[in-house]
Chains A and B, each alone.
Chain A
Amino acid sequence: MQETGDHLSGSELIEVTEWVCFLRGQRGDETAWRKITDTYRSRLTALALMITRSATSAEDVVQETFVRALTAQVSNTSGTVHGFLGTIAYRLSVKEARRSRRHVPLNAAQEYTQGETQIERLLRGEREQLVAEAIAALSPEHRDVLLLRFYGGHSYEEISELLDTPLGTVKSRIFYAVASCREVLKRKDYTE
């Protein structure tokens, strides 16, 4: 872990403080752990939801992420806590998406539960659903880069490493992904 000191910038200080909080949580400090889970739960749930397309799976993935994080041996704190949790959540989500597609063929009917889609179960606002729709329309490659950047807390370099994809490709994918989402939002006049 980086040493705290006068030369740390504001964001670096937040990262150090978060790791301290995280490690305290691992050692049994419930308040510290709750702070970590409260801070990242919704963003990780969004990431898992957009990959698994299932509200139940998304919540299970996030719960599993926190369970794994709680018992994980953290040897490298150079990244962010968000990125650390995001990596676990992303890998579990991809695994869950593959598993569910292998065992239960996806079709439109199965995405509905009691008259609402899986995404509608967690995203209540109209604009949120529109954003989810725009993200869901992306190819998995573009979608994953966007999710890791915005919801997984990763830098472009971390995404490049995680997806084993050149940095330039990651940057062009995030550009294309965001541009596509903006197009969808504009078409639907999301501002109203």
Chain B
Amino acid sequence: MIHINDDKLLKYALETLADAQEKSKLEDHLVSCQECQARFEEIHRDLGIIAGLRPARTSESSWMHRWIRSLIRIAALLVVGIVLGIGASPLLTNKTQGVSPCYVILSSPADSISQYAVPDATEISADYDY
């Protein structure tokens, strides 16, 4: 018995065999030949594997990260808005006189920043060496 070669079986599995007569002959052979059936099943299994990539649904976590990033951005914008709003507010002009509006927000929690802040004139020590 002449068996069907792998290339032809693959073309059949891929539905690219154009010749109807050839296709019909191949199908007749497949019904009666266990060896070709086994190779055809192997090809079929391989096609399933090649077409079977199913990426893990990481989108939930990545979307969560994106949401968190978005929230951080919104929060940052709000802080900037508040800072600028306070800085521009006529109500606070007396309180913030001579002080950069940035210090209003940044100086309280960020101790590390305070070293860069220009000391207020009223805080200069009176222990001068004359």
**Pairwise interchain contact B49-A132, C-beta atoms closer than 8 A:** no
The stretch of A2-10, A82-90, A96-104, A172-180 in contact with B is A172-180
Q: How near does chain B come to A123, taking the closest CB pair, in angstroms? A: 6
A131-B10 CB under 8 A given contacts A182-B46, A185-B46: no
Please name all residues of chain B whose beta carbon is closer than 8 Å to the beta carbon of A171 when the two chains form the complex: 14, 16
Please name all residues of chain A whose beta carbon is closer than 8 Å to the beta carbon of B53 when the two chains form the complex: 46, 49-50, 123, 128, 131-132, 135, 151
How many residue pairs, one in A and one in B, have C-beta atoms under 8 Å apart?
75
Interface string of A117-141 (1 = CB under 8 A from B): 0000111100110011011000000
**Pairwise interchain contact A59-B14, C-beta atoms closer than 8 A:** no
A122-B10 CB under 8 A given contacts A150-B50, A171-B16, A181-B50: no
**Pairwise interchain contact B11-A151, C-beta atoms closer than 8 A:** no
**Pairwise interchain contact A124-B56, C-beta atoms closer than 8 A:** yes
Q: How near does chain A come to B78, taking the closest CB pair, in angstroms? A: 26
Contact partner of B50 (CB less than 8 A), chosen from A63, A122, A131, is A131
Q: Cβ of B25 < 8 Å from any Cβ of A? A: no
**Pairwise interchain contact A42-B49, C-beta atoms closer than 8 A:** no
Q: Cβ of A45 < 8 Å from any Cβ of B? A: yes
Q: Cβ of A81 < 8 Å from any Cβ of B? A: no
Q: Cβ of A58 < 8 Å from any Cβ of B? A: yes
Please name all residues of chain B whose beta carbon is closer than 8 Å to the beta carbon of A43 when the two chains form the complex: 54
Please name all residues of chain A whose beta carbon is closer than 8 Å to the beta carbon of B11 when the two chains form the complex: 175
**Pairwise interchain contact A45-B55, C-beta atoms closer than 8 A:** yes
Q: Cβ of B95 < 8 Å from any Cβ of A? A: no
Contact partner of B10 (CB less than 8 A), chosen from A59, A146, A175, is A175
Please name all residues of chain B whose beta carbon is closer than 8 Å to the beta carbon of A46 when the two chains form the complex: 53-55
Q: How near does chain A come to B58, taking the closest CB pair, in angstroms? A: 6
Q: How near does chain B come to A139, taking the closest CB pair, in angstroms? A: 16
Q: How near does chain A come to B39, taking the closest CB pair, in angstroms? A: 12
A178-B10 CB under 8 A given contacts A46-B55, A132-B53, A185-B49: yes
Q: Give complex CA distance A41, B56 in Å.
A: 10
**Pairwise interchain contact B49-A131, C-beta atoms closer than 8 A:** yes
Interface residues of B (CB under 8 A from A): 7, 10-11, 14-16, 43, 46-47, 49-59, 62
Interface pairs A-B: 7 shortest CB-CB: A122-B55, A150-B51, A46-B53, A171-B16, A42-B54, A45-B55, A181-B50
Not counting A121-B58, A146-B50, A179-B10, a sample of 5 additional A-B residue pairs whose C-beta atoms are within 8 angstroms of each other reads A41-B59, A46-B54, A131-B50, A178-B14, A190-B49
What would be 21 A-B contacts, judged by CB atoms less than 8 Å apart? A49-B55, A59-B59, A121-B58, A123-B53, A123-B55, A127-B49, A128-B52, A131-B50, A132-B53, A134-B50, A135-B50, A171-B14, A174-B16, A175-B10, A175-B14, A178-B50, A179-B7, A181-B46, A181-B50, A182-B46, A185-B46
